[in-house]
Amino acid sequence: MSIRVRFAPSPTGFMHVGNAIIAIRNWMFARSQDGIFMLRLDDTDDERSEDKYEQGIYDDLKWLGLDWDEFAKQSDRNDRYDLAIDSLKKSGRLYPCYETAEELDMKRKIQLGQAKAPVYDRSALNLTKGDMEKLEASGRKPHWRFKLNDVAVKWCDLGRGDVCFEPGHLSDPVLIREDGRPLYTISSVVDDGELGISHVIRGEDHIANTAVQVELFMALGFDVPVFAHLPLLVGADGKGLSKRLGSLSLQDIRKSGVEPLALVAYLSHMGASIAADGTQSLSDMAAKFDIGAFGRASPRYDPSELNMLNIKVLHNKSFTEIKPQLEAIGLTGVTEEFWAAMHGNVEKLEDAKYWWQVCNGDIEIIVNNDDVEFLKIAAELLPCGDYDENTYGAWIYAVKQKTGRKGKGLFLPLRLALSGKNKGPELKYLLPLMGDKLAKSRLNS
Ligand code: GLU
């Protein structure tokens, strides 16, 4: 079987972590199986689809490093949907309905009041030709529903195991709107069927869609793809993310300084027994990817875990890799020694700017009154001239001998005065980067 998957976002908003995890898992699955990864834009809703969102999807996928082998856009494929619709009309599986949204809502309320499932009652099937003509003469336009077979729909889901929808639990889905436009339920099936999608990997919010789409695939004569429904992300607090997803856009995450590899590693390992360690490349991760390795529980999206992974990803970057990135944030002239001193200590690349200032410019240092004299002595003991990695050790020894201080009382005031922070890269590396003049002037100020 040739493996063909698709990521099918609607360009009605910017990509967020909830879309990204689906894109990543589809991409990883395709790459792990020598398959095809298709990007399909579900842009049938032209009121809500916008060019800026479409561009955002391209930009975000490229930023993540997820390249696509094939591309399709639903708005280019309307003729294909028309043909499918004609065939369903001919086979009697589509029927016109004339209820307004208010009438449908009323029906649902009555059903719920009677403790019945709010399933469409198919009353439109009882309309005579005359009834329909009258309704149309009064200005009503039909929407069209797909008549489900009254049979159980079953499939073996790669994310959820065996799934079964008993008959009578789902409404006949509307496939064509009053204005004649096809809805996602059918356009997606026509695309998946015609474009040979072998596996549909998507969020578990689509599970009821799948139940009706399985019947649609069959009614249209397509092979039914394999499905994998993935649990939706929740926040670190365990609560649903849907309302917060807007603030978890990839653009914002990117602006906050997260490395794409850290985000991909984080999202691709969520819910798996092995956590991401930040050392693997995209292709390493793809090679080890196993769609069956994820638990059924909703993975918790925790920005602090992502930040920890970001530190590791930055730590693993060589100077050659990082140099252009540092230059892009305005740090030109950065040396390999500087990055070697920094790389285990920066959570976000932007943090390197501060440490660049520590080594080369002005910073606000912290000096407690009780330490002024101590720091003066330390300044006097600091040698002049070029420093190397051993300078610090020898200096600290001398300061300790002279002042009698040790432990925190010895190290912390020096660190605060030299770097303005209570933690960061090791002073033995910072000191040579700072040089004698800067170090002495800070200790004396
Ligand atoms: N456009 C749909 C969505 O973004 C695609 C769902 C699917 O993968 O079929 O939810």
Q: What is the DSSP letter of 38?
A: E
Residue 396 and residue 389: Cα distance in Å, rounded? 12
Which residue has the least CA distance to atom 3 on ligand 1? 9
Q: What is the pLDDT of residue 46?
A: 85
Q: What is the pLDDT of residue 359?
A: 96
Q: What is the pLDDT of residues 342-398, one digit of tens each?
A: 888 898 999 999 999 999 999 999 999 999 999 999 999 999 999 999 999 999 999
Distance from Cα 360 to the centre of ligand 1, integer Å: 51
Assign 42 to helix, strand or coil. Answer: coil
Backbone angles phi, psi at 386, to 5 degrees: -75, 140
Distance from Cα 230 to the centre of ligand 1, integer Å: 13
Share above pLDDT 70 across residues of the chain, in percent, rounded to a whole number = 100
Q: What is the pLDDT of residue 130?
A: 97
Q: What is the pLDDT of residue 183?
A: 95
Residue 267 and residue 299: Cα distance in Å, rounded? 9
Q: What is the pLDDT of residue 156?
A: 97
Which H or E run contains 214? helix 207-219
Q: What is the pLDDT of residue 44?
A: 87
- Quote the distance between the C-alpha of residue 412 and its chain's center: 40
- Buried/exposed 186-197: b ≥16 CB within 10 Å, e otherwise: bbbbbbbbebeb
Q: What is the pLDDT of residue 301?
A: 94
Cβ atoms of 333 and 344 closer than 8 Å: no
Weakly modelled stretches of the chain, pLDDT under 50: none
The CA dihedral of 207, 208, 214, 215, to the nearest 10 degrees, is 180
Nearest Cα residue to 6 out of 270, 189, 208, 182:
189
Residue 17 and residue 382: Cα distance in Å, rounded? 50
Distance from Cα 9 to the centre of ligand 1, integer Å: 6
Residues 6+ apart with CB under 8 A from 67: 37, 61
Ligand 1: residues within 6 Å at CB? 8-10, 42, 184, 188, 202, 206
Ligand 1 atom closest to Cα of residue 188: 9
Q: What is the pLDDT of residue 435?
A: 96
Cβ atoms of 17 and 256 closer than 8 Å: no
Q: What is the pLDDT of residue 45?
A: 86
Q: What is the pLDDT of residue 215?
A: 97
Ligand 1 atom closest to Cα of residue 203: 8
Q: What is the DSSP letter of 33?
A: T
Q: What is the pLDDT of residue 239?
A: 87
Mutate which of 7, 10, 157, 230 for ligand 1? The one with the most ligand atoms within 8 Å of its CB, which is: 10
Residues 6+ apart with CB under 8 A from 25: 201, 230, 268, 289, 291
Ligand 1 atom closest to Cα of residue 200: 8
Cβ atoms of 1 and 32 closer than 8 Å: no
Which H or E run contains 174? strand 174-176
Distance from Cα 340 to the centre of ligand 1, integer Å: 44
| Cα separations in angstroms, 62 against 126, 158, 262 | 52, 27, 15
Q: What is the pLDDT of residue 250?
A: 96
